Structure formats: C-alpha cells, structure tokens
Amino acid sequence: MIQFNVQKKLDAPGGEMLLDLQGEFPQGQLITIFGESGAGKTSLLRIFAGLLMPETGKIIVNQQTWFDNRKGINLSPQKRKIGFVFQDYALFPNMTVQKNIEFAAKNRQNKKEITDLFDLFNLGELLNKKPETLSGGQKQRVALARAIASKPEILMLDEPLSALDHVMRSKLQDYILTVHKKYNLTTFLVSHDVGEIFKMADKVIVLDNGKITNQGTPSEVFSNKHISGKFQFTGEIIRIEKEDVIYVVTVLIGNSMVKVVSEEKEIHQFSIGDKVLVASKAFNPIIQKIQSK
C-alpha cells in the first residue's frame, strides 16, 4: 500500500503552481498518470522516487515512512527500491548494454537472474553495443531491463513510449505488462494515450494543474457510461465512408485497423481524429488459431 499526501510549489511556465496530491494505491497495480503537459505528472514520479523533495506532507509505502517533513524523514533515492525509466532513457554512454544492466544489478549475486533478463528482453545481439548505436525502441528495452535489474518493488516509467511508432509501442507495452506481472511490481506509467491506458492500466489518475481531478479504472474515467459489452477497445477514427445507406467508420486500435458500421442518425457526431470506444458483446466475435505455441 502506498499512501501519500504531499505539497510542493513548482515553477511552471505559466507561473507558480502548487502541487497538492493525496491518494492511496494498493500494491501490485499498474497505475497510469494522465494529464496535460505541465500538469505535474513527472513531478509526482520524482517525488515518489526521492528526486524531488516536497515541502510538506507524508509518503508511506508498506508501513515504511519514506517522507515526513514533520519528523524530518526523507529516505534517499538509493534506499527506495525503485526502478525508473527516464524520458531520455538515461543509459550510461560509457558502458555497453551488458555493463549498463550489470551495473544496476551489482548488488545481487545471482548471475542466472541477469541472463534471464537478457533473454526476457531479447538483448542477445545488443549486449556489446554502446547505447548511442541503438534505435529508440532498443534503448527503451535496455532501459526497462536495467530498471528491473536492481530488483525494484516499484517501477516508474516517465512517458517512455511517446517517441516510438505504433508497432514499437505496442511491443514495449507488452514488455512492460510482462515484467509488471512477472515481478509482481507496483507500476506507475505516465501516459497521455487513452488507448494505451485502456490496454495497460488497472487504475488511472488524472492530474490537472497539480491536483488529482479524477481517478478510477480507465472505463470509469474515460467513458462516462459503463457499457456491458466485453469486446471493448478505444481507438481513433481515421476514415468515414458512406456505402449505400450505411457508413463505414475505420478506427485505428493500437496498430490494427478495424471497421465499424454506423448509420445516418449517429454519424454526424463523429469526425476524423475523434477518440472512440468500440464495443461489441463477447458473444459475437469468432476466435481462430493462427499459430500454435
């Protein structure tokens, strides 16, 4: 359980902003932090990680006090057991991929666990390369592997996927989900992609101007009504075509395109670029094997 109630004044582009955050997260959830840029998303992560000191308040993680300004407690980042993936990845340029990960894992003896990590992230061919020679997606993978290498209890990802294309993005989302479950982590992910949040998050907190304005499951937060259909996706409208008396709406969901039929009376509310919820009942789709494991 992570309980926090912290306040800090920040210098924001639009003048001073008061960050005033309180909440409670059970362990083992994947929590996304959503909000406009400058809303305080990164600052929230940095406060949890001990990289930014709040002026007042408390942070208590599993009954251990990490920060309490009244008692003068401020646990150093070194002791917080956090794996952090920075926006710029922060791979050490002087070390190879392997050295980067081993450096993070230095405190643990089990060599097998480290080679398991290399396998899990398919790093085999990259091990002897320097970070500067890697592509964005590869850097991301290494940064994620390195964040896990120090055996954290909490994983924090500061908008790591925003610079990647759709295919890369969806692969890395899968990596994140895999490690989140495999290592039983509490994961915080900064994201402003609603589709990504629906795919990944147990919980989403919405930040606006330094305050939490909304929180809950992705469907509680993003679809104002709960729909019983179990075959639900969110995507973006990329095309609307009239065919006969109906309309075919093409929606990009993750990296696949799907088509949904709509009709005259409802089509006027849609335009290209809109984020939409596509829902059907679990009874309708058929399922077919395409490859055996």
Partner 1 sequence: MIWDPIILTFQLAFITTVILIIISIPISYWLAYTRSTVKPVIETIVSMPLVLPPTVLGFYLLVAFSPSNAFGNWLDHTFGLRLVFSFEGLVLASVIYSLPFMVHPIQSGLSNLSTSLKEASYLMGKSRTSTLFQVLLPNIKPSLITGIVLAFAHTVGEFGVVLMIGGSIPGQTRVASIAIYDEVESLNYDIANSYSMILFAVTFVILFAVYTINGGFLKRFWE
Partner 2 sequence: MNTLRGKITSINTEGHLSLISISVKDVTFKSIVIETPQSVDYLKTGNTINVLFKETEVVIGKGKIQQISMQNQVPCTIKNIEEGKLLSRIDLDFQNNEIVSIITTNAIRNLDLKVDDKVVAMIKTNEIMLSEL
Interacting residues toward partner 1 by CB under 8 A: 49, 51, 76-80, 82-84, 86-88, 90, 92-94, 103-104, 106-107, 146, 150
Is-contact 187 144, C-beta < 8 A?
no
Q: Applying CB under 8 A, which part among 70-78, 177-185, 239-247, 285-293 lies near partner 2?
A: 239-247
- Contact flag: residue 265 with partner 2 (CB under 8 A): yes
Phi/psi at 161 (5° precision): -100, -5
Residue 63 touches which of partner 1, partner 2, none (Cβ within 5-8 Å per kind): none
CA distance 175 to 53: 31
In terms of C-beta density within 10 A (0-12 exposed, 13-18 middle, 19 or more buried), how is residue 101 classed? Answer: buried
Interacting residue with partner 2 among 60, 120, 278, 279 (CB under 8 A): 279
Residue 279 touches which of partner 2, partner 1, none (Cβ within 5-8 Å per kind): partner 2
Residue 92 touches which of partner 2, partner 1, none (Cβ within 5-8 Å per kind): partner 1
Pairing, β 64-68 against β 73-74: antiparallel
Dihedral angle over CA of 261, 266, 267, 269, nearest 10 = -130
- Contact flag: residue 269 with partner 2 (CB under 8 A): no
Beta-bridge mates of residue 18: 9
Angle at the Cα of 90 (from 199 to 30), degrees rounded to 5? 25
Q: Applying CB under 8 A, which part among 57-65, 74-82, 156-164, 241-249 lies near partner 2?
A: 241-249
- Contact flag: residue 16 with partner 2 (CB under 8 A): no
Q: Which residues bind partner 2 (CB under 8 A)?
A: 225-230, 244-246, 261, 263-266, 279, 281-284
